[in-house]
Amino acid sequence: MADRATFIATVTASLGRSEVLAPPSDTATAAFDDTATAKSNAEQAMATASERSSELAERMAEAAAVIGWKVHRVANQEDAANVIASICEQKSATSVLRSTHEVLTQVGVDAAVTNTGASIGTTEHSGENSSDLVDQSKTAAFKADIGITGVDYAIAETGTVVLHPRSGLSRLVSLAPPTHIAVLRPGEVLESLDELFAMERNDFSSGELAGSMNLISGPSKTADIEGTTVTGIHGPLEAHLIILKYD
Protein backbone atom coordinates (compact mmCIF):
# COMPACT_ATOMS: atom_id res chain seq x y z
CA MET A 1 0.00 0.00 0.00
CA ALA A 2 1.32 3.47 -0.92
CA ASP A 3 2.33 5.73 1.94
CA ARG A 4 0.37 8.88 2.67
CA ALA A 5 2.67 11.26 0.75
CA THR A 6 2.67 9.03 -2.35
CA PHE A 7 -1.12 8.69 -2.23
CA ILE A 8 -1.65 12.47 -2.04
CA ALA A 9 0.87 13.04 -4.86
CA THR A 10 -0.93 10.49 -7.05
CA VAL A 11 -4.31 12.13 -6.47
CA THR A 12 -2.82 15.56 -7.17
CA ALA A 13 -1.34 14.38 -10.48
CA SER A 14 -4.60 12.69 -11.48
CA LEU A 15 -6.39 16.01 -10.97
CA GLY A 16 -3.92 17.68 -13.34
CA ARG A 17 -2.37 19.83 -10.63
CA SER A 18 1.32 20.40 -10.06
CA GLU A 19 1.22 21.62 -6.45
CA VAL A 20 0.71 19.05 -3.74
CA LEU A 21 -1.79 20.43 -1.23
CA ALA A 22 -0.80 19.07 2.17
CA PRO A 23 -3.10 19.40 5.20
CA PRO A 24 -2.00 21.64 8.09
CA SER A 25 0.31 20.03 10.61
CA ASP A 26 -2.39 20.22 13.27
CA THR A 27 -4.75 17.80 11.50
CA ALA A 28 -6.85 17.32 14.64
CA THR A 29 -8.49 20.71 14.14
CA ALA A 30 -7.71 21.42 10.48
CA ALA A 31 -11.34 21.22 9.37
CA PHE A 32 -12.84 22.82 12.45
CA ASP A 33 -12.21 25.47 15.07
CA ASP A 34 -8.92 25.56 16.88
CA THR A 35 -8.66 23.52 20.08
CA ALA A 36 -9.36 26.43 22.44
CA THR A 37 -12.43 27.55 20.49
CA ALA A 38 -13.77 24.00 20.28
CA LYS A 39 -13.42 23.62 24.04
CA SER A 40 -15.09 26.97 24.70
CA ASN A 41 -18.03 26.14 22.43
CA ALA A 42 -18.52 22.76 24.11
CA GLU A 43 -18.43 24.32 27.57
CA GLN A 44 -21.01 26.90 26.50
CA ALA A 45 -23.26 24.17 25.09
CA MET A 46 -23.21 22.28 28.39
CA ALA A 47 -23.70 25.48 30.40
CA THR A 48 -26.82 26.23 28.36
CA ALA A 49 -28.07 22.66 28.84
CA SER A 50 -27.71 23.08 32.60
CA GLU A 51 -29.04 26.63 32.94
CA ARG A 52 -32.10 25.99 30.74
CA SER A 53 -32.59 22.34 31.66
CA SER A 54 -36.32 22.52 32.43
CA GLU A 55 -37.13 24.53 29.31
CA LEU A 56 -35.07 22.31 27.04
CA ALA A 57 -36.50 19.14 28.56
CA GLU A 58 -40.01 20.40 27.84
CA ARG A 59 -39.08 21.30 24.27
CA MET A 60 -37.54 17.86 23.89
CA ALA A 61 -40.74 16.23 25.12
CA GLU A 62 -42.86 18.19 22.65
CA ALA A 63 -40.60 17.50 19.67
CA ALA A 64 -40.23 13.83 20.60
CA ALA A 65 -44.00 13.32 20.77
CA VAL A 66 -44.41 14.76 17.28
CA ILE A 67 -41.97 12.29 15.70
CA GLY A 68 -43.38 9.18 17.37
CA TRP A 69 -41.80 8.76 20.78
CA LYS A 70 -44.22 7.76 23.55
CA VAL A 71 -43.24 10.41 26.10
CA HIS A 72 -43.51 9.89 29.86
CA ARG A 73 -42.78 12.83 32.16
CA VAL A 74 -41.99 11.58 35.67
CA ALA A 75 -41.35 13.44 38.90
CA ASN A 76 -38.74 11.13 40.38
CA GLN A 77 -36.75 7.94 40.00
CA GLU A 78 -39.40 5.75 41.62
CA ASP A 79 -41.98 6.92 39.06
CA ALA A 80 -39.50 6.17 36.27
CA ALA A 81 -39.06 2.62 37.60
CA ASN A 82 -42.84 2.19 37.73
CA VAL A 83 -43.20 3.30 34.10
CA ILE A 84 -40.51 0.82 33.02
CA ALA A 85 -42.23 -2.00 34.92
CA SER A 86 -45.58 -1.06 33.40
CA ILE A 87 -44.16 -1.19 29.86
CA CYS A 88 -42.59 -4.59 30.56
CA GLU A 89 -45.94 -5.90 31.79
CA GLN A 90 -47.84 -4.43 28.83
CA LYS A 91 -45.42 -6.11 26.40
CA SER A 92 -45.40 -9.39 28.37
CA ALA A 93 -41.62 -9.09 28.28
CA THR A 94 -39.57 -12.10 29.34
CA SER A 95 -36.12 -10.84 28.31
CA VAL A 96 -34.78 -7.30 28.68
CA LEU A 97 -31.37 -5.82 27.83
CA ARG A 98 -30.04 -2.58 29.24
CA SER A 99 -27.05 -0.31 28.83
CA THR A 100 -24.72 0.53 31.72
CA HIS A 101 -25.75 4.21 31.84
CA GLU A 102 -25.56 5.51 35.41
CA VAL A 103 -29.15 6.77 35.35
CA LEU A 104 -30.50 3.22 35.00
CA THR A 105 -28.74 2.20 38.22
CA GLN A 106 -30.10 5.31 39.93
CA VAL A 107 -33.63 4.45 38.81
CA GLY A 108 -33.29 0.85 39.98
CA VAL A 109 -34.12 -0.60 36.59
CA ASP A 110 -32.94 -4.12 37.45
CA ALA A 111 -35.38 -4.51 40.32
CA ALA A 112 -38.18 -2.85 38.36
CA VAL A 113 -37.80 -5.36 35.54
CA THR A 114 -37.21 -8.52 37.57
CA ASN A 115 -40.24 -7.76 39.75
CA THR A 116 -42.36 -8.21 36.62
CA GLY A 117 -40.93 -11.70 36.09
CA ALA A 118 -38.64 -10.75 33.20
CA SER A 119 -34.90 -11.32 33.12
CA ILE A 120 -32.52 -8.42 32.56
CA GLY A 121 -28.93 -8.31 31.41
CA THR A 122 -26.31 -6.22 29.63
CA THR A 123 -23.89 -6.80 26.78
CA GLU A 124 -20.96 -6.01 29.10
CA HIS A 125 -18.50 -8.90 29.27
CA SER A 126 -15.64 -7.74 31.50
CA GLY A 127 -13.69 -6.24 28.61
CA GLU A 128 -13.52 -9.52 26.67
CA ASN A 129 -13.96 -9.19 22.92
CA SER A 130 -13.85 -12.73 21.57
CA SER A 131 -15.99 -13.56 18.56
CA ASP A 132 -18.01 -16.01 20.68
CA LEU A 133 -18.99 -13.26 23.12
CA VAL A 134 -19.87 -10.93 20.25
CA ASP A 135 -22.11 -13.62 18.77
CA GLN A 136 -23.71 -14.20 22.18
CA SER A 137 -24.40 -10.48 22.54
CA LYS A 138 -26.01 -10.31 19.12
CA THR A 139 -28.18 -13.33 19.85
CA ALA A 140 -29.28 -11.87 23.20
CA ALA A 141 -30.13 -8.52 21.60
CA PHE A 142 -32.30 -10.02 18.89
CA LYS A 143 -34.08 -12.27 21.40
CA ALA A 144 -34.79 -9.44 23.84
CA ASP A 145 -38.29 -8.02 24.03
CA ILE A 146 -37.16 -4.61 25.30
CA GLY A 147 -33.92 -2.61 25.22
CA ILE A 148 -33.38 0.08 27.87
CA THR A 149 -30.77 2.82 27.67
CA GLY A 150 -29.91 6.15 29.17
CA VAL A 151 -28.83 8.86 26.74
CA ASP A 152 -25.52 10.58 26.10
CA TYR A 153 -27.22 13.70 24.77
CA ALA A 154 -30.65 14.67 23.48
CA ILE A 155 -31.56 17.36 20.96
CA ALA A 156 -34.52 19.59 21.90
CA GLU A 157 -34.81 20.97 18.36
CA THR A 158 -35.47 17.58 16.75
CA GLY A 159 -36.61 15.26 19.56
CA THR A 160 -33.53 13.11 18.98
CA VAL A 161 -31.67 10.89 21.44
CA VAL A 162 -27.90 10.57 20.91
CA LEU A 163 -25.99 7.42 21.89
CA HIS A 164 -22.28 6.66 21.51
CA PRO A 165 -21.87 2.86 21.32
CA ARG A 166 -19.03 1.64 23.55
CA SER A 167 -18.26 -0.93 26.22
CA GLY A 168 -21.50 -1.39 28.14
CA LEU A 169 -23.61 0.08 25.34
CA SER A 170 -23.96 -2.05 22.24
CA ARG A 171 -25.85 -0.24 19.48
CA LEU A 172 -28.06 -3.34 19.29
CA VAL A 173 -29.61 -2.59 22.71
CA SER A 174 -31.53 0.29 21.14
CA LEU A 175 -31.92 -1.22 17.66
CA ALA A 176 -32.64 -4.95 17.86
CA PRO A 177 -35.47 -5.36 20.43
CA PRO A 178 -38.96 -4.39 19.18
CA THR A 179 -39.34 -1.86 22.03
CA HIS A 180 -36.75 0.72 23.11
CA ILE A 181 -36.98 2.69 26.36
CA ALA A 182 -34.68 5.70 26.82
CA VAL A 183 -34.36 7.41 30.21
CA LEU A 184 -33.39 11.08 30.06
CA ARG A 185 -32.25 13.58 32.67
CA PRO A 186 -32.99 17.26 31.87
CA GLY A 187 -29.36 18.42 32.02
CA GLU A 188 -28.56 16.07 29.13
CA VAL A 189 -30.68 18.01 26.60
CA LEU A 190 -28.83 20.23 24.14
CA GLU A 191 -30.63 23.02 22.31
CA SER A 192 -29.88 21.99 18.73
CA LEU A 193 -27.61 19.99 16.46
CA ASP A 194 -25.17 22.93 16.52
CA GLU A 195 -24.48 22.26 20.20
CA LEU A 196 -24.10 18.53 19.54
CA PHE A 197 -21.54 19.21 16.82
CA ALA A 198 -19.72 21.58 19.20
CA MET A 199 -19.45 18.73 21.69
CA GLU A 200 -18.27 16.33 18.99
CA ARG A 201 -15.65 18.79 17.69
CA ASN A 202 -14.26 19.22 21.19
CA ASP A 203 -14.12 15.46 21.73
CA PHE A 204 -12.36 15.09 18.38
CA SER A 205 -9.75 17.75 19.09
CA SER A 206 -9.07 16.31 22.55
CA GLY A 207 -8.76 12.75 21.25
CA GLU A 208 -11.87 11.54 23.10
CA LEU A 209 -14.27 11.19 20.17
CA ALA A 210 -16.26 7.95 20.28
CA GLY A 211 -16.01 5.62 17.31
CA SER A 212 -19.57 6.14 16.16
CA MET A 213 -22.81 7.89 17.05
CA ASN A 214 -26.45 6.83 16.84
CA LEU A 215 -29.12 9.51 16.38
CA ILE A 216 -32.51 8.06 17.36
CA SER A 217 -35.64 9.98 16.45
CA GLY A 218 -38.46 7.77 17.64
CA PRO A 219 -39.37 4.31 16.32
CA SER A 220 -37.76 3.05 13.13
CA LYS A 221 -39.68 4.04 10.03
CA THR A 222 -39.25 4.31 6.28
CA ALA A 223 -41.31 5.43 3.30
CA ASP A 224 -39.08 3.91 0.62
CA ILE A 225 -41.80 1.58 -0.65
CA GLU A 226 -44.39 3.48 -2.71
CA GLY A 227 -44.15 6.44 -0.36
CA THR A 228 -46.02 4.57 2.37
CA THR A 229 -44.60 4.99 5.86
CA VAL A 230 -43.82 1.66 7.49
CA THR A 231 -42.67 1.36 11.11
CA GLY A 232 -40.14 -1.08 12.51
CA ILE A 233 -38.16 -1.87 9.36
CA HIS A 234 -34.66 -1.03 10.60
CA GLY A 235 -35.19 -0.90 14.35
CA PRO A 236 -37.81 -0.89 17.12
CA LEU A 237 -41.53 -0.74 16.43
CA GLU A 238 -42.08 1.31 19.57
CA ALA A 239 -39.93 3.86 21.38
CA HIS A 240 -40.58 5.26 24.86
CA LEU A 241 -38.86 8.34 26.27
CA ILE A 242 -38.93 8.75 30.06
CA ILE A 243 -37.99 12.26 31.12
CA LEU A 244 -36.97 12.70 34.75
CA LYS A 245 -37.78 16.03 36.36
CA TYR A 246 -35.84 17.23 39.36
CA ASP A 247 -36.96 20.07 41.65
Q: Where are the domains of the chain?
A: 69-244
Q: Give the DSSP letter string of 79-103.
A: HHHHHHHHHHHHTT-SEEEE---HH
Residue-wise pLDDT tens digits, 206-243: 888 877 899 999 886 665 666 655 565 666 889 999 99
| pLDDT at 50 > cutoff 70 | yes
Put the strands of the sheet holding 189-190 in their side by side order: 189-190, 153-155, 160-163, 214-216
- What pLDDT score does 247 carry? 46
- What pLDDT score does 231 carry? 61
Give, rounded to a whole angstrom, the gap between the first and last alpha carbons of the chain. Answer: 59
This prediction has a pTM of: 0.81
Tell me if 142 sits within 8 A of 178, measured CB to CB.
Answer: no
| pLDDT at 129 > cutoff 90 | no
> Residue 75 gets which letter from DSSP?
S
Domain 69-244 has CATH 1.10.10: no
- The percent of residues in the chain predicted with pLDDT above 70, rounded, is 80
- What pLDDT score does 166 carry? 84
